Structure 1
Amino acid sequence: MRILLVEDDPSLGETTARALRSQSWAVDWLSNGESIPNAVKLVTYDLVVLDVGLPGIDGFEALRRLRSESKGMPILMLTARDAVEDRVHGLQLGADDYLVKPFALTELLARIQALTRRFHARQHNELHLGSLRLDLIAKRAFLADKPIELLPREWAVLVYLLNNIGKVVSKEQILEAISGWDETPSGNAIEVYVSRLRTKLSNTGISIRAIRGFGYLVEESAHDTQP
């Protein structure tokens, strides 16, 4: 999961970003509302954690603009304002949940997990290719209904590939999808993750082909031809 965190307080932003990354989520952290439109154009986010009290464009206006552009990802608002009117205003503008500062990080994580469960339930809960099935809610992978063990980055790469069946995706695209701005994994890391996935998917009729000069293509085939 990739999250956009918008929080202008350096200490709270740092602490919150660290807590989110502890869950193996990729996090991009902004400190102002003006940068949000460009960020959501460049990256598809699974969730936005948005502070109300931002300098310049505040959280309410940023929320209004996101929803006016039909950005449908879940949005969790953070606010120091405990007034009912403020919470109602945010919900009317399209916020999915509200958390009042100061908050416990465990509650923030629980609310994010609940939001993403509800969102995926409204969208799609599973990805399929041949005998491979990914349960996006439980974060479990199955081959012919037998579970296979995946490390968090292996899972993230496989989800991205299955979300792009029929397309060749580059190492750079995969890196962008699974990493935060301040993380610098290399293209070699993607090669390692793909190699591990190939091993775990060997003899299943599912292959991850390397298209020289372009990237990777996941497909169903009668035989695995990629070493």
Structure 2
Amino acid sequence: MKILMVEDNKSVSEMMSMFFLKEQWDAHFAYDGNEAVEQFSADPMSWDIITLDLNLPGLDGMQVAQKIRQLSKTVPIIMLTARDSESDQVLGLELGADDYVTKPFSPITLIARVKALHRRAELVEEQIEADEQVEEAANSDYDVQTDHFKMSSKTREAYLFDEPVLDLTPKEFDLLKTLAKNPRQVFSREQLLELVWDYQYFGDERTVDAHIKKLRQKIEKVGPQVIQTVWGVGYKFDDSEVKR
């Protein structure tokens, strides 16, 4: 795995380098935002995962995330931040981060998050390839279709009442697909962490809530809300009774 850690605290980077070495990962480090963008842009397709500190000299973490997403829509990004406010977490996710870890963090926990996110990205890529084969065989562009909704893993597009749901991040798309391909099935936050993030023990349920919040905002721009909260349990997708 080729990993880029963007962290201005060199002692943290040096500590993590030992853990990366133990995992036999090809680890690279950037200590400010400009250096991070320069390293990533040299070969965007070569990186497997990015860990990105929020507070950086030069370009801050939010700006770096924006520039990385302009170059790659799919490389997994874990944002590292000392801030623990919902607004910062939601903003980071909106700008394209797939997950966040709040400082101070355990190196073992971060390693587990990196492994889970990388494994999930590989599974998604394999699933996309499988979906493409199924689509080609069936001569259909959409692998998820419900009463008023459809989405394609091949083109990474989603439509509600034939109106596109725009600007979905990779993780929002995966979350929406998980819910929509099982309409009216209720998923707990723990189940969604395992299915979408592949976290069994290191997940944070706030990650699910923050992604659901942003996903709902994007859906509501084109039509009625189809992601419903089942209080005390979790979330479900249901467009059977919605009207345009």
TM category, shorter: 0.5 to 0.7
Query: Residues of 1 paired with 2:72 and 2:95: CA distance?
Result: 12
How far apart in 2 are the matches of 1:61 and 1:78?
Answer: 14
C-alpha distance in 2, partners of 1:107/1:99? 9
- Aligned partner of residue 57 in structure 1, secondary structure: coil
For residues 38-95 of structure 1, give each alpha carbon's deviation from its aligned partner in whole angstroms, at most 9, with x where no partner exists. 2123341100011000011000110011112234210011000011110011001110
Contact 1:63/1:94 (CA < 8 Å) preserved in 2?
yes
Contact 1:52 1:60 in 2 (8 A): yes
Determine the structure 2 residue equivalent to 1:38.
38
CA radius of gyration, larger in: 1
Is structure 2 residue 131 aligned with structure 1 residue 123? no
Within a 5 Å distance, the mapping from 1:181-200 to structure 2 comes to none
Normalising to structure 2: TM-score of the pair?
0.49
Q: Matched residues in 2 for 1:47 and 1:99: separation?
A: 14
The match for 2:28 is: 28
Q: Is the 8 A contact 1:76 1:95 kept in 2?
A: yes
Classify the secondary structure of the residue corresponding to 1:35: helix
Note if 1:58 corresponds to 2:34.
no
CA–CA separation in structure 2 for the residues paired with 1:7 and 1:42? 19
Structure 2: distance between partners of 1:58 and 1:15:
22
- The answer to whether the 8 A contact 1:5-1:17 is kept is no
- Cα distance in structure 1, aligned partners of 2:86 and 2:40: 29
Structure 1: which 5+ residue stretches go unaligned? 126-227
1:11 is matched with 11
**Cα RMSD after superposing both structures:** 1.3
Q: Tell me the TM-score normalised to structure 1 length.
A: 0.53
AA aligned opposite 1:10: K
Q: Which amino acid aligns with 2:80?
A: L
Give the length in aligned residue pairs. 125
List structure 1 runs of 4+ shifted beyond 3 angstroms. none
| Code of the aligned partner of 1:66 | I
Give the CA deviation at 1:10. 1.2
CA contact (8 A) 2:41 2:71 kept: no
Alpha-carbon distance between aligned partners in 1 of 2:24 and 2:72, rounded to the nearest angstrom: 27
Aligned to 1:94: 96
Letter in 2 for 1:16: M
Report how far residue 20 of structure 1 moved. Answer: 1.5
1:64-75 mapped onto 2 (5 Å cutoff): 64-75=66-77
Q: Report the Cα distance in structure 2 between the residues aligned to 1:62 and 1:46, rounded to whole angstroms.
A: 16
Structure with more helix by fraction = 2
| Amino acid in structure 2 at the alignment position of 1:77 | M
- The answer as to whether partners of 2:3 and 2:26 remain within 8 angstroms in 1 is yes
- Whole-angstrom distance in 2 between the partners of 1:117 and 1:79: 23
Once residues 112 and 100 of structure 1 are traced to their aligned partners in structure 2, the CA distance between those partners, rounded to angstroms, is 14
